[in-house]
Chains A and B, each alone.
Chain A
Amino acid sequence: MTEKKNLIEIRNLTHRYGDVTAIDDINLDIHENEFFALLGPSGCGKTTLLRVLAGFETPDAGTVMLGNTDLISIPPNKRPINLMFQSYALFPHMNVGQNIAYGLEREKLGKNEIKTRVAEVLETVGLSDKSKSRPLQLSGGQRQRVALARAIIKRPKLLLLDEPLSALDRKVRAEMQIELKRLQHEVGITFVVVTHDQEEAMSMADRIAVIAKGKVEQVDFPVDLYERPKNRYVGGFIGDSNFFDGIATSTGIINEKLGPMPGNHYGRNITGPAHLLIRPEDLRVAQGDEHSISAKVQDVAFFGGASTIILTIDNHPTTILFSQPGSTSIQRGSQLQLTWDEQKAIVLPSDSPSESNN
């Protein structure tokens, strides 16, 4: 990846609602033309951050710069930023065309230009024939396209999307994921999407910021978030994971019950209490006298492309997930010796998520 230009620079941003700190000293750079995701559980502050960017909340402290402009002092209707609301917020008393034209009319553009651009954007979202329909006459997926069209027609520098897919059913959601990504490339606008759904974020975003309790835990490319989480919180939030507690050694950790477990520090040289994260697909059945742990098969589930085997280990508090491509011959109730690729097992520091923030 080449070094990209920053579109938005967020510095030391803090916002409280009464006693509740919704966002806590956040620093974040959003690049030009990227698809950026704010990912976290509900109540983590991601929506507040979005509302600060849109201008509906004035933060208690910190700055948000767009180029050389300080955004905080600019009211929402003057910002070159548009928001696609979670509820879509389509104006019920206007038809689709009027909804989409609303933003351009506020710019006092000529009737003909508005008409051309509305037609253009309707074409982009594939709703050219629905211009005269009322929002209530449309399906959920169509409404979302209208909301998107209305938000991109002003050609904002930044488009914010608040849980854009949550109101759609599963099948439409998968289509829209691809659609959103295509649109982002097509219109060349920076997208910032807020979501609690890690699969959604992983499949759409160029980069993801994992947020917990008002703090940014990690900002990274999806693959790096998965393969090299910085702490236990991110490791557990993204994808399936098996954790083992212990004391860090130079080659892994030592677990009280299971003994030495090799893993990769990724150059961080962690000491003291630590965790070892092993992804389900990095486990395999041991051959010969490799290092291994003994586990009992509790259940086997086949998902078409892969099988997930759920195991228990004596004296280990949680069940272990082990996935194999395709179907499996492993039987429920059998005893397995499992081993793993020590390069892929990740040693993580034993900090609480908020302390490990960098």
Chain B
Amino acid sequence: MGVTYFFLYVPIIALVGMSFNASESPFTWNGFSTKWYGVLANDSTVMKGLTNTLIVAFTSTFLATILGTALAVGLHQYTKSAFLNAFALAPAIMPDIVLGIGLLALFALLSMTLGLYSVVIAHVVFSMAFVSAVVKARLSNSDPALREASMDLGATRSTTFFKITLPSLTPAIVAGALLAFTLSLDEFVIAFFTNGPATPTLPIIIYSMVRFGVTPEINALASLLMLVSFTAVIGAQRMTKLAEAR
């Protein structure tokens, strides 16, 4: 187990360590410095990419959470079809490159100009599948009698949905949303295909920077991305626990 953990975390530790390296060369250690974080903050390309990425991540997460939850509830309540269920999950399993090319072809067919919104649409497609999978798992573990009990006590269908079904799904919805968020944050392949030239997202900028070698600035950037993802995941766990304890 020790070996596995070593294997898992050494690259991350190296990355974070090197982001504090005063030297510009990835091969030497010249002492501790936070100057690369400063360089990063002043790099307008990186900052623009970060903004784009955050816009995409927040928007696509928001939309995917609503649509994915609706999809899961709809599938759970109105169909037993294994076919439809499998198809709801397909975008999550499909290779990113297939989805990317497919979406690009579709956008071209509709003669849409590419921009941030096309990335958002693309991210919603696969995030939604993840959200619906997480929410559906929770639904299939929930007591079907809860909805009937609500109706029996005089609630309409919509009251039952908002007062009973939705609250009991909150932990799953939050977990699904954070999953969607972290997936969108560092998604490269699909964004690469569906992005407009004027609006690169952060992973695309990192990729173009790496072509000229790994600099400590990139290490710093990657460390920051990781921090955001970790915070999101830990936040998700807290929310889940909170929701269950309530």
A-side residues, CB < 8 A to B, are: 54-56, 75-78, 81-83, 85-87, 89-93, 102-103, 106-107, 134, 150, 154
Q: How far is the CB of B175 from chain A (nearest CB, A)?
A: 16
Within 8 A of A (CB), among B167-191: 167-168, 170
Q: Are A106 and B145 in contact (CB-based, < 8 A)?
A: no
Q: Are A92 and B168 in contact (CB-based, < 8 A)?
A: yes
Q: Which residues on the B side are within 8 Å of A81 (C-beta)?
A: 152
Separation of A90 and B246 alpha carbons in the complex (Å): 14
Q: How far is the CB of A128 from chain B (nearest CB, A)?
A: 21
B-side residues, CB < 8 A to A, are: 143, 145-146, 148-156, 159, 163-164, 167-168, 170, 243, 246
Q: Which residues on the A side are within 8 Å of B156 (C-beta)?
A: 77
Most chain B CB within 10 A, of A78, A81, A83, A150, is at A83
Number of A-B contacts (CB under 8 A): 62
The 5 residue pairs across chains A and B that have the minimum distance between CB atoms: A103-B153, A106-B154, A89-B145, A89-B149, A93-B167
Q: Are B145 and A85 in contact (CB-based, < 8 A)?
A: yes
Separation of A177 and B151 alpha carbons in the complex (Å): 27
Q: Are B148 and A102 in contact (CB-based, < 8 A)?
A: no
Separation of A93 and B243 alpha carbons in the complex (Å): 8
Q: Which residues on the A side are within 8 Å of B146 (C-beta)?
A: 89, 91
Contacts A76-B148, A87-B145: A103 and B164 contacting too (C-beta < 8 A)? no
Separation of A92 and B154 alpha carbons in the complex (Å): 18
Q: Are B168 and A103 in contact (CB-based, < 8 A)?
A: no
Q: Which residues on the B side are within 8 Å of A154 (C-beta)?
A: 153-154
Q: How far is the CB of B48 from chain A (nearest CB, A)?
A: 42
Q: How far is the CB of A51 from chain B (nearest CB, A)?
A: 9
* Closest Cβ neighbor of B246 among chain A residues: A93
Q: Are A103 and B154 in contact (CB-based, < 8 A)?
A: yes
Contacts A85-B145, A87-B145, A106-B159: A93 and B152 contacting too (C-beta < 8 A)? no
- Supplied contacts A54-B152, A87-B145, A91-B146, 10 more A-B pairs, CB within 8 Å: A55-B152, A75-B151, A77-B154, A85-B149, A89-B143, A93-B167, A93-B168, A103-B153, A107-B154, A154-B154
* Closest Cβ neighbor of A147 among chain B residues: B149
Q: How far is the CB of B118 from chain A (nearest CB, A)?
A: 38
Q: How far is the CB of B152 from chain A (nearest CB, A)?
A: 5
* Closest Cβ neighbor of B145 among chain A residues: A89
Q: Which residues on the A side are within 8 Å of B170 (C-beta)?
A: 93
* Closest Cβ neighbor of B146 among chain A residues: A89
Q: Which residues on the A side are within 8 Å of B168 (C-beta)?
A: 91-93
Contact of B153 among A75, A134, A150 (CB under 8 A): A150
Separation of A107 and B163 alpha carbons in the complex (Å): 15
Separation of A54 and B153 alpha carbons in the complex (Å): 11
* Closest Cβ neighbor of B169 among chain A residues: A93
Q: Which residues on the B side are within 8 Å of A87 (C-beta)?
A: 143, 145
Separation of A3 and B145 alpha carbons in the complex (Å): 37
Q: Are B155 and A106 in contact (CB-based, < 8 A)?
A: yes
Q: Which residues on the B side are within 8 Å of A54 (C-beta)?
A: 148, 152
Q: Are B153 and A82 in contact (CB-based, < 8 A)?
A: yes
User: What are 19 A-B contacts defined by CB distance under 8 Å?
Assistant: A54-B152, A56-B151, A76-B151, A76-B152, A77-B151, A77-B155, A77-B156, A81-B152, A82-B152, A85-B145, A89-B148, A91-B149, A93-B168, A102-B155, A103-B153, A106-B153, A106-B155, A154-B153, A154-B154
Q: Which residues on the A side are within 8 Å of B145 (C-beta)?
A: 85-87, 89
Contact of B152 among A83, A91, A92, A134 (CB under 8 A): A83
Separation of A138 and B100 alpha carbons in the complex (Å): 51
Separation of A278 and B81 alpha carbons in the complex (Å): 54
Q: Which residues on the A side are within 8 Å of B149 (C-beta)?
A: 83, 85, 89-91, 150
Q: How far is the CB of B143 from chain A (nearest CB, A)?
A: 6
Separation of A35 and B246 alpha carbons in the complex (Å): 37
Q: How far is the CB of B127 from chain A (nearest CB, A)?
A: 25
* Closest Cβ neighbor of A95 among chain B residues: B246
Separation of A90 and B243 alpha carbons in the complex (Å): 16
* Closest Cβ neighbor of A93 among chain B residues: B167
Separation of A81 and B149 alpha carbons in the complex (Å): 12
Q: How far is the CB of A196 from chain B (nearest CB, A)?
A: 18
Q: How far is the CB of A150 from chain B (nearest CB, A)?
A: 7
Q: Are A91 and B164 in contact (CB-based, < 8 A)?
A: yes
Q: Which residues on the B side are within 8 Å of A91 (C-beta)?
A: 146, 149-150, 164, 168
Q: How far is the CB of B160 from chain A (nearest CB, A)?
A: 9
Most chain A CB within 10 A, of B150, B151, B159, B168, is at B151
Q: Which residues on the A side are within 8 Å of B143 (C-beta)?
A: 87, 89
Q: Which residues on the A side are within 8 Å of B152 (C-beta)?
A: 54-55, 76-77, 81-83
Q: Are A102 and B246 in contact (CB-based, < 8 A)?
A: no
Q: Which residues on the B side are within 8 Å of A89 (C-beta)?
A: 143, 145-146, 148-149
Most chain B CB within 10 A, of A54, A55, A87, A102, is at A102
Q: Which residues on the A side are within 8 Å of B164 (C-beta)?
A: 91
Separation of A208 and B179 alpha carbons in the complex (Å): 55
Most chain A CB within 10 A, of B143, B156, B159, B168, is at B143
Separation of A132 and B118 alpha carbons in the complex (Å): 49
